[in-house]
Amino acid sequence: MKKLFYVLLTMVLLINTACQKDFLDVEAPSNVDEDLVVSTVGDAQKVLAGIYEIWYDLDRLLYYETEVVGSDSEKHPENYASQGRHIPEGLFAEEFNIDDTNSRSTFNECYRIINRCNIILEAFEEKEEYQAEKTSGEAGDWTQLYGEALAARATCYKLLIKYFGDVPYFDYPLRTKSQSDTLGLTSRDVIYENEINVLKNAVPLMYNLGQGGINAERFSGTYGYALIGQLAFDAAGYQLRRTDFDYGNVTFDQIGTENSTWQAKYVRRSDWQNYMTIAKEYYLKTIENSGSAYLIENDPRGEGFNNPFQYNFQYLMNLEVSPESIYESGYTQGFNSDFPYSFGRPSGGPGSNGYPAKNYGQARIYSSFYYGDFQPNDKRRDVTAAVTANSGKASELLINFAPGSREKGGLAMNKLDEARFQDPYEAAQRRSGCNWQQLRMGDIMLRLAYAAAATGDEATAKTYFEKVRSRAFDAEDQAEFVTSYIEGKSGQDLLDAIEFERKLELAGEGKTRWDMILLGTMPERIIKLRDTQNKMVEGLKSNGYYTFPETGMTISNYIWTKYVDIKEIDPSLNLLTTQTPDGLSSEDPTYPVLAPGWRGTSDTWVDYINTLESDKVNLAIRGLYEYIDPDGPVAAALEADGYVKSDWGSNIISNESQYTSDIFRGYPDSYYDSGQPPRYIRAIPSETLDQSNGNITQGYGHASQ
């Protein structure tokens, strides 16, 4: 997968006119003739490439810090006190540095892109070629590039609102400091409305995916339609709002009470259905204008695979653009890439020349989500969460629930795994070249399903709900787990089911936290998570196990593991790309190595594996989903057969606070009981406050210095 390398020869103007520290520190414009920057389509593409060069790293910092570790399915791996980033992730139990590097960088880089986009847009509007294409009403190279710049700007404003609430807004170039010094905060309602309206005009003149040489590594018309849907969905959703800010004539529906200490309330617009209707319309347009993109519903790879859900992620690991992608941020192998280092299956390997090299594993999965939310025959479960890590020496290593990194830190993400790459890159960590899939069709279809259900169109809602859920189950399971499951739902039950489906479908992709906020369910989902984790811990302490009532799955203090040579069991087996056969009995001799699936090590490392003892590569596991009495006959027989009793839930007990009281420490039970709003919004950096001449003020109880 190729990163979009461009000659930035024409970026001199943009560097000199863009924000260097933040958007309030604007330097004088360059003497370079702006018209020369976009004199041809080729030159314009080079200029726009500068936006993508920033984009590769734009949202990674706060995504890493909060979005992919701060939900009721996703968590961080380390002790709460070991990392300051756990404070914003946990909703600010303590005050936090308002000039946190990651927060400030994201704020500044968003405005850097916004101002560059405004300069580009202004230059395009003066081009006769652009005006001619616009007048024709047909997509062309100039209208495509114009739309890309608009999409980049709107996406930046979407991110700024998500992280910082109401923010400064400008849709024209800032070239002098005096222009920026007069800016204050703009209501997010105004920003949403303006960006939606300009995109509505521009997106129909963009190429859909597959047209005009546009793939998912660039903003397409398909992405543009989805972006309008996302902005409208956000505008319709619940968010934290300031009570010391004037929102004009907009009225709100409120959850709970206002917090007078940090002057905020948890609300959505009273006319939210108007925006949800727009969201539904444009999510439908996304599918109608999907071009080459589609939901992967079949797995062509043959026997042993049978998992179209996993096939999407395998494209990324093959360094190919997935046909399910609407947008992927592109990376090149051998250069910086946090995927899957931070958001995939961990590895205990060294920083270089490992099998695979070190993978930290920042995104982890709550055990109550893995055991208690996924039905055991849901094909997404084993693809989503890993029970074994890579040792870094071409073998499996049991995950440890003790806080830490690599194999420690609890159940890890499994959607990406360097051992599963078609051509693994062993030379160095963080160099895999795996793209960041930021928006895919499964996400859009479930958003569409929710928007349709929320506006009374349950037929459309169920159609797209069923399309996504159907691929997660085998044919023999469709009637019970798909058709009957969906048909019987209506009203709030249908909305709740779609929200839950998004949790199952998108775990570890950094979408769930924002869902919890927008859908108004963050408080109750936090409490439910903490209650479920507490029940699990009490069961482990009292009985040595806990069975989750919704799924019948059991987590125990101990499991039994043994290294095996899977080629002796079956020469054709490759655990790394194997879907556990549906209905496989725990009494089957292959069960310990086939359940769970999608684990193991890479067969491409055969030369290295041959230097190991053959029985030190793959783990057979017993007791992962059923209780085995450590003092009973089954345990004795397993140990006689070479299995070793291994700590599992016992390490959760040993680190109880990590899995109970440390969860969302900034939102204790007392907050829920009194109806307090969740405090998720970050502080505006002090530099911006200082340079605003008093026009920008801090909110949400954050300090100003």
CATH of the domain at 188: 1.25.40.890
At residue 91, the pLDDT reads 98
The type of residue at 694 is: G
Does any domain span residue 366? no
The C-alpha atoms of residue 569 and residue 563 are separated, in whole angstroms, by: 12
Token pair, residue 454, equals 């929320």
DSSP state of 580: P
Q: Comparing C-alpha atoms, which of 392, 574, 513 is closest to residue 69? A: 513
The C-alpha atoms of residue 425 and residue 281 are separated, in whole angstroms, by: 43
At residue 575, the pLDDT reads 66
Question: Are 201 and 220 in a shared domain?
Answer: no
Read off the pLDDT of each residue in 426-432 and give the average, rounded to a whole number.
94
The C-alpha atoms of residue 170 and residue 291 are separated, in whole angstroms, by: 32
E strand intervals along 496-566: 545-547, 554-556, 558-564
Per-residue pLDDT for 302 more than 90?
no
What is the per-residue pLDDT across 255-269, written as a single tens digit (0 to 9) for each?
999 999 999 999 999
Does any domain span residue 362? no
Domain boundary among 474, 496, 520: 520
What is the per-residue pLDDT across 588-631, written as a single tens digit (0 to 9) for each?
888 998 999 999 888 788 777 777 665 678 899 999 999 999 99
Q: pLDDT averaged over the chain?
A: 92
Per-residue pLDDT for 18 more than 50?
no
Question: Are 118 and 33 in a shared domain?
Answer: yes
Question: Are 640 and 545 in a shared domain?
Answer: yes
What is the per-residue pLDDT across 501-560, written as a single tens digit (0 to 9) for each?
999 999 999 999 999 999 999 999 999 999 999 999 999 999 999 999 999 999 999 999
Is pLDDT larger for residue 25 or for residue 113? Answer: 113
Q: Can you spell out the DSSP letters for 418-442?
A: GGG-SS---SBTT-----EEEEEHH
Q: Which residues, including other chains, have CB under 8 Å from residue 302's CB and lie 6 or more apart?
A: none
Is pLDDT larger for residue 586 or for residue 411? Answer: 411
Read off the pLDDT of each residue in 563-572 and give the average, rounded to a whole number.
78
Read off the pLDDT of each residue in 308-337 and give the average, rounded to a whole number.
95
Does any domain span residue 530? no
Q: Can you spell out the DSSP letters for 557-578?
A: SEEEEEEE-HHHH-TT--GGG-
Question: Are 582 and 511 in a shared domain?
Answer: no
The C-alpha atoms of residue 703 and residue 705 are separated, in whole angstroms, by: 6
Judge contact between 166 and 185, C-beta under 8 A: yes
Q: Comparing C-alpha atoms, which of 447, 459, 448, 513 is closest to residue 487? A: 459
Q: Which residues, including other chains, have CB under 8 Å from residue 331's CB and lie 6 or more apart?
A: 1, 3, 56, 337, 339, 432, 433, 434, 435, 436
In the chain, the number of structural domains is 3
Question: Are 47 and 27 in a shared domain?
Answer: yes
Question: Are 542 and 498 in a shared domain?
Answer: no
Question: Are 320 and 447 in a shared domain?
Answer: yes
At residue 13, the pLDDT reads 34
Per-residue pLDDT for 20 more than 60?
no
| CB atoms closer than 10 angstroms to residue 292 | 16
Domain boundary among 497, 520, 543: 520
Confidence of residue 39 (pLDDT cuts 50, 70, 90): confident
The C-alpha atoms of residue 702 and residue 242 are separated, in whole angstroms, by: 12
At residue 9, the pLDDT reads 28
Per-residue pLDDT for 25 more than 60?
no
At residue 5, the pLDDT reads 32
Q: Is the dihedral of CA 75, 79, 84, 87 positive or negative?
A: positive
Question: Are 448 and 550 in a shared domain?
Answer: no
Structural domain range at position 180: 9-67+98-206
Read off the pLDDT of each residue in 359-372 and give the average, rounded to a whole number.
97
The C-alpha atoms of residue 279 and residue 273 are separated, in whole angstroms, by: 9
Does any domain span residue 375? no
Does any domain span residue 407? no
Does any domain span residue 135? yes
Chain-centroid distance of CA 400 in Å reads 24
Q: Locate tokens 């990194």: which residue?
A: 405
Comparing 221-230, 529-538, 563-572, which segment has the lowest mean pLDDT? Answer: 563-572
Read off the pLDDT of each residue in 222-231 and give the average, rounded to a whole number.
98
Judge if pTM exceeds 0.85.
yes
Judge contact between 54 and 30, C-beta under 8 A: no
At residue 100, the pLDDT reads 95
Instruction: Tell me the three state secondary structure of residue 400.
Output: strand
At residue 27, the pLDDT reads 40
At residue 606, the pLDDT reads 73
Q: Which residues, including other chains, have CB under 8 Å from residue 298's CB and lie 6 or more apart?
A: 308
Helix and strand counts by DSSP (H, E) for the chain: 30, 16
Judge contact between 561 and 616, C-beta under 8 A: no
Judge contact between 530 and 86, C-beta under 8 A: no
Read off the pLDDT of each residue in 418-438 and give the average, rounded to a whole number.
93
Does any domain span residue 483? yes
Read off the pLDDT of each residue in 187-206 and give the average, rounded to a whole number.
98
Token pair, residue 136, equals 């024709």
Does any domain span residue 681? no
Q: Comparing C-alpha atoms, which of 622, 618, 580 is closest to residue 380? A: 580
Token pair, residue 539, equals 């069961």
Per-residue pLDDT for 582 more than 70?
yes
Confidence of residue 574 (pLDDT cuts 50, 70, 90): low
The type of residue at 477 is: D
The C-alpha atoms of residue 409 and residue 75 are separated, in whole angstroms, by: 9
Is pLDDT larger for residue 356 or for residue 56? Answer: 356
Read off the pLDDT of each residue in 259-288 and give the average, rounded to a whole number.
98
Question: Are 27 and 148 in a shared domain?
Answer: yes
Q: Which residues, including other chains, have CB under 8 Å from residue 680's CB and lie 6 or more apart?
A: 66, 88, 91, 240, 513, 517, 522
Read off the pLDDT of each residue in 222-236 and give the average, rounded to a whole number.
98
At residue 569, the pLDDT reads 76
Distances (CA, A) of 143 to 359, 368, 594: 41, 49, 52
Question: Are 604 and 478 in a shared domain?
Answer: no
The C-alpha atoms of residue 74 and residue 510 are separated, in whole angstroms, by: 8
Cis peptide before 340 (omega within 30 of 0): yes
Domain boundary among 657, 677, 695: 657
Per-residue pLDDT for 23 more than 60?
no
What is the per-residue pLDDT across 113-122, written as a single tens digit (0 to 9) for each?
999 999 999 9
At residue 37, the pLDDT reads 63
Question: HEC string of 176-231?
Answer: CHHHHHCCCCECHHHHHHHHHHHHHHHHHHCCCCCCCCCCCCCCCHHHHHHHHHHH
At residue 338, the pLDDT reads 86
Q: Which residues, including other chains, have CB under 8 Å from residue 288's CB and lie 6 or more apart?
A: none
Read off the pLDDT of each residue in 642-668 and give the average, rounded to a whole number.
97
Per-residue pLDDT for 339 more than 70?
yes
Distances (CA, A) of 653 to 44, 75, 179, 488: 59, 17, 57, 39
Confidence of residue 584 (pLDDT cuts 50, 70, 90): confident
Q: Which residues, including other chains, have CB under 8 Å from residue 227's CB and lie 6 or more apart?
A: 151, 154, 155, 158, 199, 203
What is the per-residue pLDDT across 313-324, written as a single tens digit (0 to 9) for each?
999 999 999 999
Judge contact between 345 and 384, C-beta under 8 A: no
Per-residue pLDDT for 146 more than 70?
yes
Confidence of residue 703 (pLDDT cuts 50, 70, 90): very high
- Based on its alpha-carbon atoms, the radius of gyration of the chain, rounded to whole angstroms, reads 26
At residue 106, the pLDDT reads 97
At residue 7, the pLDDT reads 28
Read off the pLDDT of each residue in 271-293 and give the average, rounded to a whole number.
98
Token pair, residue 380, equals 């997404």
Phi/psi at 594 (5° precision): -100, -15
% of the chain with per-residue pLDDT over 70: 94
Read off the pLDDT of each residue in 22-44 and give the average, rounded to a whole number.
58
Question: Are 515 and 651 in a shared domain?
Answer: no
Question: Are 317 and 199 in a shared domain?
Answer: no
Judge contact between 401 and 313, C-beta under 8 A: no
At residue 614, the pLDDT reads 54
At residue 434, the pLDDT reads 95
